[in-house]
């Protein structure tokens, strides 16, 4: 069968599905060149299946690996299991290809992580990105347990939980540390609900300080403050206002909202302008740094 969109001819046991697969790719926004590549891959797979005397129902995981090994001997592109994911997903949706086998958990940690992933995605309905993030934290925690992990969990204490967080958080940003903290709490709640922990331990996870500033702002150099004040034009109302505000900020170390909240006459007196025009009052010397209040 020749696909009208791409001009690719597919023969063999998958020929009957080529047209539907082409429409499937178009509906998912594949570029024409990418769709043609997928159909050429499908044509190769179909020819190989025919040579094996198999049909679509024979596309087991083992046979897919056999095909990819053959393809790697003659091709350099589209030779991984990921390359076959579109056509296999399409055929599985039609029910003509065996479902993808569930990965076999090899260890206690693998089984716990798979159960936890299903809990996050299924019962809690979390987004895929959140699930991946929390599973990564869970792996960090669980691989640190002694084997068998289930036995260690049965005697896990709050001190070990706290020690894990204190070990993992230093050197991370605040947001990354919060991810570790929230992920650890989530895992511990799951483990308790599933009976792996004899008592709830989520409360043993310490919090993360939320301060975004690591130090106080540095003082403005006196020469910089003096230049800023000198830049104000005393011949205009706006210049006189700005000059008074800058002098207050520099001399008294006030913050912006503290200056804004003072009456205009009070600002003029504090700035050294007396009760009259702030542009005609006493001219201050170089302004001291904000830290020096006088």
Averaged over 100-106, what is the pLDDT? 64
Answer yes or no: is 63 within a domain.
yes
If pLDDT is split at 50, 70 and 90, which confidence band does 132 have?
very high
Residue 28 and residue 51 in one domain:
yes
- Is the CB of residue 218 less than 8 Å from the CB of residue 258? no
What percentage of the chain carries pLDDT values higher than 90? 30
Domain that holds residue 259: 218-294
Q: What would the pLDDT profile of 162-221 be if each residue is shown by its tens digit?
A: 999 998 888 888 888 999 999 999 999 999 988 898 889 988 888 876 544 445 566 778
Average pLDDT, the chain: 81
145, 172, 204 - which closes a domain? 204
Per-residue confidence (pLDDT) for residue 265, from 0 to 100: 54
If pLDDT is split at 50, 70 and 90, which confidence band does 77 have?
confident
In this structure, the number of other CB atoms found within 10 A of the CB of residue 41 comes to 21
176, 204, 232 - which closes a domain? 204
Per-residue confidence (pLDDT) for residue 258, from 0 to 100: 59
CATH number of the domain to which 174 belongs: 1.10.150.130
Total of domains in the chain: 3
Exposed e or buried b per residue across 11-40, where buried means at least 16 C-beta atoms within 10 angstroms of its C-beta: ebbbbebbeebbebbeeeebeeeebbbbbb
Residue 85 and residue 138 in one domain:
no
Closest to 146 (Cα-Cα) out of 121, 109, 186: 109
Asked if residue 291 has pLDDT above 80, the reply is no
């Amino acid at each position: 069968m020749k696909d009208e969109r791409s001009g690719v001819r597919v023969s063999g046991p998958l020929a009957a599905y080529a047209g539907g697969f082409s429409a499937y790719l178009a509906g998912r926004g594949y570029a024409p060149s990418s769709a043609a590549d997928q159909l050429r891959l499908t044509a190769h797979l179909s020819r190989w299946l025919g040579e094996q005397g198999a049909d679509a129902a024979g596309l087991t995981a083992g046979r897919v690996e056999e095909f990819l090994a053959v393809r790697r001997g003659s091709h350099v592109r589209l030779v991984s299991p990921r390359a076959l994911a579109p056509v296999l997903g399409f055929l599985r949706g039609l029910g003509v290809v065996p479902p993808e086998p569930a990965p076999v958990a090899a260890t206690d940690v693998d089984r716990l992580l798979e159960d936890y992933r299903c809990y996050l995605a299924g019962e809690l309905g979390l987004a895929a990105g959140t699930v991946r993030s929390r599973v990564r934290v869970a792996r960090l925690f669980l691989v640190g347990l002694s084997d068998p992990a289930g036995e260690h969990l049965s005697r896990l204490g709050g001190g070990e939980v706290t020690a894990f967080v204190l070990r993992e958080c230093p050197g991370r940003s605040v947001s990354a540390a919060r991810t570790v903290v929230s992920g650890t709490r989530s895992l511990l709640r799951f483990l308790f609900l599933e009976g792996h922990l004899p008592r709830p331990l989520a409360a043993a996870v310490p919090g993360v300080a939320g301060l975004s500033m690591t130090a106080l702002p540095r003082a403005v150099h006196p020469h910089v403050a003096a230049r800023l004040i000198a830049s104000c034009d005393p011949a205009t109302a706006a210049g006189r206002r700005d000059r008074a505000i800058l002098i207050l900020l520099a001399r008294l170390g006030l913050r912006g909202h503290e200056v804004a909240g003072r009456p205009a006459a009070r600002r003029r007196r504090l700035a050294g302008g007396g009760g009259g025009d702030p542009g005609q009052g006493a001219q201050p010397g170089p302004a001291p740094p904000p830290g020096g209040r006088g």
